[in-house]
Structure 1
Amino acid sequence: MLEKFKIHIAQNFPFFDGKKMLLATSGGLDSMVLLHLFQQLYFDIAIAHCNFQLRGIESFGDQNFVQNYALVNTIPIFVTQFDTKAFAADYKISTQVAARELRYNWFYELLETEKYDFILTAHHADDNLETFLINLSRGTGLEGFTGIPQQNDKVIRPILSFSRQEIENYAKENGIQWREDSSNASDKYLRNKIRHHLIPILKELNPNFISSFQKTQNYLQEAQVMVEDATIMIYQQVAKEQGDGTIHFDLKKLQQLPNFKSYLYQWLKEYGFSAWDDIYDLAEGQSGKQVFSAEFRLLKDRNFLILSPVNFVTNEKEFLLDKEQHEVNIPLKLSFCKVSDISAVSNSAIFVDEDKLQFPLLLRRWREGDYFQPFGMEGKSKKVSKFFKDEKLSLLEKENVWILCSNDQIVWIVGMRQDDRFRIENTTKNILKIQLG
């Protein structure tokens, strides 16, 4: 295995030369073999050991074992201890997830503080197979079948292509000692059930099952690359990223595609969505329907699906503006100044008769039932909702409209239309300019 490993490193990790590497070492078979292999290659290495304190005295036995090995072999070592159960309880996550978060956060901290280049872990081919079967049992997309990546940022798995049997044979041939984790014998965890009961049957049916599986996974990885390329190309045709941070998906173009649901899945999975049936139904649903993830929402608005952050819509609040105020910055940036004459009226600036205003002014969200008299339509009232419809505002745009009011009368649909009742007349003595932005 050593010669095979040397070739593997030379071909796949030539950038290791001259780098400093942290080896995640639990004291178990896999990590001790990884450590021994790297000792034979004379790289600049150090050991990183986490004591999760999950198995009582056994956990401290692992820690002492690894520390003694480092001492005898003069290898630098970093050790930390975690109260994993308390962390899991505090954040309401499983113990396994807690352990993973704790150790990788610590690993990256070591990279930064101790100036190491990579973290090496001892995941192997059987781990990859177990992960594949776990994902299969739970249901997954194509990416769930492509396996544990050989490299993920600064984390590298140099023995991912080697089987557990190869690793065990190497350990026995070289007299490598290791610690047995008693929890690995328990069928409490799904991974252990698969390891103890399912995989032995697969290997019995095909003694070369691991090798065959690796070939299949390589094909799946190639297929995933093709999917990602196609996803990018179609995204450029269907999606338009707006200046306000939203993304608009053209439903007419999208629904002309075969398997358009697959494209939606590829585009939206990174945003934390999981209610895929609801999302697919949204494409055929009525305007106004929406689906939420923890931080994003997808809104159906006529011929578009609009993706936006959940916090894109500000909570409805009311803001009182005193006569003495010359500028406000929340929720909008508005400025107020007296002028002697008027320049061109625009969507971003209006001129009103200050004496017609009743202070304090009120800045609020628009409401159903709001009426105003559009500038230039003297004496004629119009529902704000009808005005929005005529302006072809999307539902998302409507949600972000602010109204400036004097008493219970609308002065300005901010950034859109002034109310005629506050216009400048020949008798106006005090002209107030209200500027947006």
Structure 2
Amino acid sequence: MPSVSRRYGASGARFERPSGPADVELSAPVILMVSGGADSTALLVLAATSALDIDDGRGVARIARERLRVLHVNHGLRGIDAEEDEEFVRDLSARFGIPCTIRRADVAALAADARDNVENAGRELRYAEAARLANELSERFGTPRSAARILTAHTADDRAETFFMNAIRGTGTAGLSSIPRRRNRIVRPLLDRTHDELCDLLRMRGIVWREDDTNADTRYLRAYVRHEVMPVVRARNPRVTASLANTCDILSDEDAYLTAVAGRALRDLTRREGDGLVVLDASRLAALEVAIARRVVRAALLALRPDARLEARHIAAVLRAVAAGEGSLTIPMAVSAHVEHGLLFLRARSAATPSAAWLEVPGRLELPDGRVLSARVVESPAGADPAARARTHALEWEGASVLLDAQAAGVDPSRGGRLWVDAPRPGDVLCPLGMHGQSKKVSDLLGEARVPLDERTSVPVVRTSPTGPVVWVAPVRPDERVRCAPATKWLLELTLLEAPDPLA
């Protein structure tokens, strides 16, 4: 017989569990994320009284009571309602004899600091707190962290809504897979049940729940999909939730398979990695099926910059260069890509601070990270529309080059001139092009452009002089006051060129 060890749960109650290796995972903590709404209330009730499949190898089975711990995160967004939610969860946990942990935070302030929306900030906070509690309890229980489970109350309705939300935003297979049944330690045991089924279950047991008024606010995308999109779709197909669940399962399985294939391909194609550099065999990459090639490039980029916000156009641009056998490009806030001699060089961008220096017009200024700022003045062709030409130029260069009114920027077309280049300063303000003269802090502009905090000091700021106004925050936005107008005769072209690859 295996030996028996005695431990004391967080509530102080003593429990016994087998200490044999095969039973260790069945003693690991199970965190229930409970907000107080109907779905999470049902999760607590079912975990305490019924059998659930939490993907621990036992299938649908009862969870030992001593493994359970409720986590409630008070976001501090709804005043007295939030306080009442917290008290409700605390009382319900006590009713079922489950220890409850309360974490509080000012999510609005966290979102403002991170330049993020409140929904995303709240979600990231909840998962971070759940991971922290799981780690703390794993250490206390003496079980591996990987054996812990974090249970969320996502339902089939949530999965269908997320499918449409991601489709509206624009996504690939992973996004259309919607909410996975499991991701690492996070398990969603209610994914096959609907919200209405869980509400009926609670009513049958005489258990009330809390309602969050923000769930009806259609300014939030999920609420819009829930109250505006889903009723229309459900009127056409009453079983759309079940249909989408099957679709999401298929897409999830196929996405997992393609990801595994791409992972093997990435390992085979890698010729060098380390020190912010990944070098791939471009010739063999070009020969791959495009579905795999996209995933290989995406995985390589995320290996360099896990926080990069990649879009389909970034991956497509890299693959175009690979197909051509040559070319260089910059992926905003991520890496530089360079193809030459049958190799694809992906290098993480440096966060070196630009040296304060003059940029001669015409002329070039090399920045500490190897990038180059160039400037020249060209005459606007007779009969042309300078403003339309400037807009087209900016689109073609994706903001890495701009056409401005030379005289408005203080540059004499006949004698040239010079501009001052340095890093963003505290209190810097400009009137971003397109905002019709409204001013904005440069720090806010960079936040809205999702430039990571650790990269903001590397953003070149072009000014008319060391103490003059901002002309261009490169490559984010020029100033409205130097934009091209119909009467503009001389165009100032400013271009930020990516550093050439030293291994090329």
- Say whether the 8 Å CA contact 1:279–1:291 is kept in structure 2: no
TM-score (norm 1): 0.64
> 2:83 is matched with which residue?
60
Q: How far did 1:238 drift?
A: 3.5
Q: How far did 1:196 drift?
A: 0.8
Whose radius of gyration is greater, 1 or 2? 1
- Counterpart-to-counterpart distance in 1, 2:275 and 2:31: 43
Equivalent positions of 1:112-131 (< 5 A) are 112-115=135-138, 117-131=148-162
Indicate the larger mover: 216-225 or 290-299: 290-299
> 2:33 is matched with which residue?
24
> 1:108 is matched with which residue?
131
Counterpart of 1:283, as a letter, is V
Counterpart of 1:262, as a letter, is R
- Counterpart-to-counterpart distance in 2, 1:280 and 1:242: 19
Which blocks of at least 5 consecutive residues in structure 2 are unaligned?
1-22, 51-63, 142-147, 356-498
> 2:202 is matched with which residue?
171
Question: 1:144–1:53: structure 2 CA closer, same or farther, 3 Å change rule?
Answer: same
- Find 1:254's aligned residue among 285, 304, 323: 285
- Counterpart-to-counterpart distance in 2, 1:219 and 1:15: 33
- Say whether the 8 Å CA contact 2:42–2:202 is kept in structure 1: yes
Question: 1:264–1:228: structure 2 CA closer, same or farther, 3 Å change rule?
Answer: closer
Q: How far did 1:395 drift?
A: 5.3
Equivalent positions of 1:34-73 (< 5 A) are 34-41=43-50, 42-44=64-66, 45-73=68-96
Whether 2:501 is the aligned partner of 1:396: answer yes
- Say whether the 8 Å CA contact 1:251–1:305 is kept in structure 2: yes
Query: SS at the partner of 1:396?
Result: coil
Query: SS at the partner of 1:213?
Result: helix
- Say whether the 8 Å CA contact 1:25–1:49 is kept in structure 2: yes
> 2:318 is matched with which residue?
279
- Counterpart-to-counterpart distance in 2, 1:244 and 1:62: 48
Counterpart of 1:40, as a letter, is T
- Counterpart-to-counterpart distance in 1, 2:341 and 2:81: 62
Counterpart of 1:141, as a letter, is G
> 2:224 is matched with which residue?
193
- Say whether the 8 Å CA contact 2:150–2:186 is kept in structure 1: yes
- Say whether the 8 Å CA contact 1:231–1:266 is kept in structure 2: no
- Counterpart-to-counterpart distance in 2, 1:292 and 1:156: 34
Q: How far did 1:58 drift?
A: 0.8
Q: How far did 1:39 drift?
A: 1.3
Equivalent positions of 1:284-363 (< 5 A) are 287=326, 289-311=328-350
Question: 1:151–1:129: structure 2 CA closer, same or farther, 3 Å change rule?
Answer: same
Q: How far did 1:315 drift?
A: 8.2
Identity of aligned residues (%): 27
- Find 2:108's aligned residue among 82, 85, 95: 85
Give the aligned length: 309
- Counterpart-to-counterpart distance in 2, 1:68 and 1:31: 14
Q: How far did 1:265 drift?
A: 4.6
Whether 2:85 is the aligned partner of 1:76: answer no
Query: SS at the partner of 1:23?
Result: strand
Whether 2:252 is the aligned partner of 1:221: answer yes
Q: How far did 1:47 drift?
A: 1.3
Counterpart of 1:34, as a letter, is L
Equivalent positions of 1:143-158 (< 5 A) are 143-158=174-189
Counterpart of 2:294, as a letter, is S
- Say whether the 8 Å CA contact 1:151–1:157 is kept in structure 2: yes
Question: 1:167–1:130: structure 2 CA closer, same or farther, 3 Å change rule?
Answer: same
RMSD (Å), alpha carbons: 2.9
Counterpart of 2:195, as a letter, is R
Query: SS at the partner of 1:74?
Result: coil
- Counterpart-to-counterpart distance in 2, 1:298 and 1:221: 30
Equivalent positions of 1:200-215 (< 5 A) are 200-215=231-246
- Counterpart-to-counterpart distance in 2, 1:114 and 1:250: 45
Query: SS at the partner of 1:133?
Result: helix
Counterpart of 2:214, as a letter, is S
Question: 1:185–1:240: structure 2 CA closer, same or farther, 3 Å change rule?
Answer: same
Question: 1:75–1:242: structure 2 CA closer, same or farther, 3 Å change rule?
Answer: closer
Q: Give the 4+ runs in structure 1 shifted more than 6 A.
A: 313-317
> 1:405 is matched with which residue?
none
Q: How far did 1:242 drift?
A: 4.3
- Counterpart-to-counterpart distance in 1, 2:219 and 2:352: 46
Whether 2:118 is the aligned partner of 1:95: answer yes
> 2:393 is matched with which residue?
none
Question: 1:238–1:216: structure 2 CA closer, same or farther, 3 Å change rule?
Answer: same
